[in-house]
C-alpha cells in the first residue's frame, strides 16, 4: 500500500462533500507531474485529504483509492474549466482515480504544524511554492501523520 496527499480547495470540493457522497472521481488535475502520480496509484492506497487555499490550510481527513486508470471525462467537455482541446477520446491525456471517504480527522493538522514536524524533503506539501495537487507520502511520514491525528496535534 502507498500513501498520498491530495489537495482540494474546500469551496471546490471538501471532505464534507466526500463524506456525504461516499466516493468521487478525482477529476480536473491538469499538471503532468500530478497526473503521473495519479497513474502510479493502486487500489487500496490511502490518501490524506488536504484543504488548500483556505485559512488555515491543512490535512482534514483520509480517503482510499477505489479505482485507478479512469479517463477524466472533463477533458472532453468544452464547457468545463478542465477542458483540454488537445485531448481526444482516442488518445486521452488525463487519467485519474476514484476515491472513497475513510474518515474526517477530529482536528485539522495545520500546514504550520506540518512545517514544524517535517522537512521539505520528507513532505512535499511543506516546500515553499509547492503547488502540486497530488503528491506521494512515504510510509514513515504517513504513519507519523496518523499518530498526529490520534494525538490531536493541529
Please give the CATH architecture assigned to the domain spanning 3-151: Roll (3.10)
Cell (9 digits) for 109: 493538522
Q: How do the domains of the chain map onto residue ranges?
A: 3-151
pLDDT of residue 153 exceeding 90: no
pLDDT of residue 145 exceeding 80: yes
pLDDT of residue 130 exceeding 80: no
Query: What is the number of other CB atoms lying within 10 angstroms of the CB of residue 36?
Result: 11
Threshold 0.85, pTM exceeds: yes
Amino acid at each position: 500500500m502507498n500513501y498520498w496527499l491530495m489537495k482540494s480547495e474546500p469551496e471546490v470540493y471538501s471532505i464534507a462533500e466526500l463524506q456525504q457522497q461516499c466516493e468521487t472521481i478525482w477529476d480536473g488535475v491538469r499538471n503532468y507531474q500530478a497526473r503521473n502520480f495519479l497513474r502510479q496509484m493502486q487500489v487500496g492506497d490511502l490518501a490524506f485529504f488536504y484543504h488548500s487555499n483556505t485559512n488555515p490550510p491543512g490535512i482534514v481527513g483520509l480517503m482510499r483509492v477505489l479505482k485507478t486508470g479512469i479517463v477524466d471525462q472533463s477533458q472532453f467537455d468544452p464547457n468545463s474549466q478542465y477542458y483540454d482541446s488537445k485531448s481526444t477520446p482516442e488518445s486521452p491525456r488525463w487519467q485519474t482515480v476514484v476515491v472513497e471517504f475513510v474518515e474526517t480527522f477530529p482536528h485539522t493538522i495545520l500546514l504550520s504544524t506540518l512545517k514544524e514536524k517535517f522537512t521539505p524533503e520528507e513532505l512535499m506539501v511543506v516546500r515553499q511554492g509547492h503547488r502540486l495537487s497530488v503528491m506521494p507520502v512515504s510510509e514513515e511520514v504517513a504513519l507519523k501523520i496518523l499518530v498526529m491525528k490520534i494525538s490531536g496535534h493541529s
